[in-house]
Structure 1
Amino acid sequence: MTVIRKRLVIALAAVVAAIGAALPVHAATIDTIAKQAVLIDMTTDTVLFEKAAHERMPTSSMSKVMTMYVVFDALRDGRLSLDDTLPVSERAWRMQGSKMFVELNNTIRVEDLIRGVIIQSGNDACIVLAEALAGSEQAFSRVMTDRARQIGLHASNFTNSTGWPDPNHYSTAHDLALLAQRLIDDFPEYYHFYSEKEFTYHGIKQGNRNPLLYRDIGADGLKTGHTEAAGYGLMASAMRDGRRLVLVVNGLPSMQARADESARIMEWGFREFEAYSLFRAGETIEQVPVWLGAEETVPATVTQDLKVTLARADRPGMTVKLVTDAPVQAPIAKGDPVGKVVITAPGQPVKEVPVVAAVDVPRLGFFGRALAGARYLVLGAGS
């Protein structure tokens, strides 16, 4: 017997109404003097603002976040430990630009080198690490590029460990924002280095160049950059009230502009947007009709907490619907897909999230199926 399936669409108005009272009807906008920029709510992976975010650009010392990603990989894999000591080559010692001031032919603890890279932006420290892990900086840069591809940075290429100017060394604001997110997610045990404000090595104390660490906005990383070709740039992240924003800006005209623009855009993101919680993992969204099952319905749920980030002004225009081809035929195993939640909001792409069965629903036995079939023939599909 053929089951006639109905397109079941349930508007979950109560969910939307419970989020909060009506707000102003127009979302705020922002612009920036940065040549490239992107701001992402990492909590929901939502782009809040972007400007030329996929445009190729020099990355200067922001490249060192990729250097650290490779180093953290080595630490996690056991190929390196924080207490290992690494030798300083003449090439590392002679390296120009920002420096940790390593001593020629000395050996330096890996943990000190990490602080030298992250806090002091030491080009010399980068080369010490690169040579130790790959034999040469050139070989290490190939590892950087390969690893970047593996984690989704498809518009990036690295020719050195420091961000030293090279026309073949580049990335995009979007790729760097993804890199920041991956480093935070993949290496929480090492991310704390990025929030440290100063480090003293060889009797020389240097402060962290990240200007947002010195402003009360919840910033805890990541890395500045500057070259003549790139201008002033910053990869930054801040956490406030359970929300984490990631910002990348580049091409700014001065250190002051970098500090002010970064803080302004970050504050705007926290002020104008909110991450709204719709459903908790395991929470029953709706009961979906079942065909030939031991139960007439199966509770539908999501596998992870479902949140969406919206401009506060756009919240009243959000709609949330459950769409499913009901009835779902038994047997149904817990975790089987039974439909999707469709979320729409002004100015946002439609978001679709799969919903799954929260419990098992076995199929009826022979006599149960026969009775259900007879009932269907007498009463019809709408019974």
Structure 2
Amino acid sequence: MAGFSLQSLRKLPNWRLLSWALSAAALLSIFLVRPAHAQIGSARYSSIIVDAASGDVLEDVNADQPRHPASLTKMMTLYLTFEAMRDRRITLDQAVPVSGHAASMEPTKLGILPGSRLTVQQAILGLVTKSANDAAAALGELLGGSEDRFAQMMTLRARSLGMTHTTFQNASGLPDPEQWTTARDLAVLSRHLITDFPAYYGYFSTPSFAWHRQIIFNHDMMLRSYPGADGLKTGYTEASGHNLVTSAVRGGVRLVGVVLGAASNGERDIHMASLLDHGFEQMDVPIAHKPVPLVPRIMLISSAHAAELPRPLAGMRLRIAASNWAIQVGSYTTEQAARAAAIAARRTVEDGDIRVEPAAVRRRTVWRAQIAGLRSTEAQEACASLSHRRGQCMVIRPDTHVLASR
């Protein structure tokens, strides 16, 4: 800072010196101006930023190192789906049968019952918003006859697109030790999705869709927080970390960014924004930054105690479901009022699914307005924001133990 020296700092009162130091530290931790200084930190981290028009690489770190794609896998599932639609092998309103295998997929999912059906368009929307694993498996079975066969088709198509270091084992991205990709390969796939299917690429920017009695909102926070962002996909498993592929357009320039292996959604999104900002700067496109809000304290409560789980099978690791956290924003005398409150809160939270459930309190029924399907950090950050704006908010811990992919 201009005008500051060690001598002048020593003359400041202690409280001012401490305040200045804390503010400086906070700013350094929030604004990750250059990727080389980003505190992503883990050995599984990699990233790349490319010019979508030319494919030129603007920046990359470990871009050819193998990484688990998690739900970024669904980008290839959607590529093959769009290809089948373009070639008129399937249609948007075509029924997709749901097998027992597809219905058994772990969350995140739509909760489709075995023997039921959904349309191709509903399956697409389930993938781009909620990252539904059951819908992905059902699409894979429709297009490949079985999910295993579809995974082979995915790998072959990936190689033909130039994704030379990618191997798929399923349609969803649920954990598999043999499912690998790289940041560079995902950038290649992103460019093909954008250029090969201009009529269908818009699905990636879908803000929400109605599924039975739920309104399902898009998990991709970049669509709402980063000016110019219009897709593509989020992903998470314990093995992969927090992954993100984003395309953004400013001043007639489109960039594609890939961030793999971040420690949290917040870190991932901030780092992606920094990478894109730096990329646009290199392309001489002006950048406008948004202010970062302060986060107040929140209240944390627990849900009903879960039944004791059986001992895990050999070789299987179970953990508390990453996306089974929820927040509660109030109790209301009518279902309509609770739903309205949940919808309003969901606009602020910008993630999760609206949930309204009845409860008996003093011999009368009240309706609880909740946002479900969040991870721990998302729930706490969301409740902090809502507490700051609207008053009391409660974080609800998960009561199940499952593997998660998102």
Measured against the shorter chain, the TM-score band is 0.5 to 0.7
Task: Say which of 268, 280, 296 aligns to 1:270.
Answer: 280
Greater helix fraction, Structure 1 or Structure 2: 2
In 2, the alpha carbon distance for the partners of 1:166 and 1:92 equals 16
Q: How far is the alpha carbon of 1:204 from its aligned partner?
A: 2.1
In 2, the alpha carbon distance for the partners of 1:167 and 1:157 equals 11
Match of 1:76 in 2: 86
CA contact (8 A) 2:226 2:273 kept: no
Q: Which secondary structure does the structure 2 equivalent of 1:234 belong to?
A: strand
Query: For 1:210-231, what per-residue CA distance to the aligned partner results, in whole angstroms no more than 9, with x for missing partners?
Result: 1210124200000001011110
Match of 1:131 in 2: 141
The answer to whether structure 1 residue 251 and structure 2 residue 261 are counterparts is yes
Q: Which secondary structure does the structure 2 equivalent of 1:45 belong to?
A: coil
CA contact (8 A) 2:168 2:180 kept: yes
CA contact (8 A) 2:129 2:216 kept: yes
Q: How far is the alpha carbon of 1:134 from its aligned partner?
A: 1.1
In 2, the alpha carbon distance for the partners of 1:229 and 1:222 equals 21
Q: How far is the alpha carbon of 1:259 from its aligned partner?
A: 1.5
Match of 1:355 in 2: none
Query: For 1:296-336, what per-residue CA distance to the aligned partner results, in whole angstroms no more than 9, with x for missing partners?
Result: xxxxxxxxxxxxxxxxxxxxxxxxxxxxxxxxxxxxxxxxx
Write the letter of the residue equivalent to 2:255.
L
Q: TM-score normalized by structure 2?
A: 0.59
Match of 1:95 in 2: 105
Q: Which secondary structure does the structure 1 equivalent of 2:130 belong to?
A: coil
Query: For 1:235-283, what per-residue CA distance to the aligned partner results, in whole angstroms no more than 9, with x for missing partners?
Result: 11001111000000011001111121111211221124338xxxxxxxx
Query: For 1:126-173, what per-residue CA distance to the aligned partner results, in whole angstroms no more than 9, with x for missing partners?
Result: 011111111110000000001001111110000100111111101000
Match of 1:202 in 2: 212
Query: Unaligned 5+ residue runs, structure 1?
Result: 1-27, 276-383
CA contact (8 A) 2:35 2:271 kept: no
Match of 2:176 in 1: 166
Task: Say which of 43, 46, 52 aligns to 1:42.
Answer: 52
Provide runs of 4+ in structure 1 moved above 6 Å.
none
CA contact (8 A) 2:47 2:183 kept: yes
- Rg larger for: 1
The answer to whether structure 1 residue 181 and structure 2 residue 207 are counterparts is no
CA contact (8 A) 1:33 1:252 kept: no
Q: Tell me how large the CA RMSD over aligned residues is.
A: 1.4
In 2, the alpha carbon distance for the partners of 1:56 and 1:253 equals 18
CA contact (8 A) 2:247 2:255 kept: yes
Task: Say which of 57, 69, 94 aligns to 2:67.
Answer: 57
Q: Which secondary structure does the structure 2 equivalent of 1:66 belong to?
A: helix
Task: Say which of 193, 202, 205 aligns to 1:192.
Answer: 202
Query: For 1:167-196, what per-residue CA distance to the aligned partner results, in whole angstroms no more than 9, with x for missing partners?
Result: 110100000000000110000100000011
Greater strand fraction, Structure 1 or Structure 2: 1
Count of residue correspondences: 248
Write the letter of the residue equivalent to 2:60.
E
Q: TM-score normalized by structure 1?
A: 0.63
Task: Say which of 203, 227, 235 aligns to 2:245.
Answer: 235
Query: Unaligned 5+ residue runs, structure 2?
Result: 1-32, 286-406
Match of 2:158 in 1: 148
Q: Which secondary structure does the structure 2 equivalent of 1:119 belong to?
A: helix
Q: How far is the alpha carbon of 1:206 from its aligned partner?
A: 2.0
Task: Say which of 102, 111, 115 aligns to 1:105.
Answer: 115
Q: Which secondary structure does the structure 2 equivalent of 1:261 belong to?
A: helix
Write the letter of the residue equivalent to 1:214.
R
Write the letter of the residue equivalent to 1:52.
N
CA contact (8 A) 1:58 1:170 kept: yes
Task: Say which of 87, 90, 96 aligns to 1:86.
Answer: 96
Write the letter of the residue equivalent to 1:182.
H
In 2, the alpha carbon distance for the partners of 1:191 and 1:39 equals 19
Q: How far is the alpha carbon of 1:72 from its aligned partner?
A: 0.8
Task: Say which of 54, 71, 77 aligns to 1:67.
Answer: 77
In 2, the alpha carbon distance for the partners of 1:45 and 1:91 equals 38
Q: Which secondary structure does the structure 1 equivalent of 2:284 belong to?
A: strand
CA contact (8 A) 1:180 1:222 kept: yes
Query: For 1:75-95, what per-residue CA distance to the aligned partner results, in whole angstroms no more than 9, with x for missing partners?
Result: 111110101011111111121
Identity, % of aligned positions? 38
Task: Say which of 222, 236, 239 aligns to 2:232.
Answer: 222
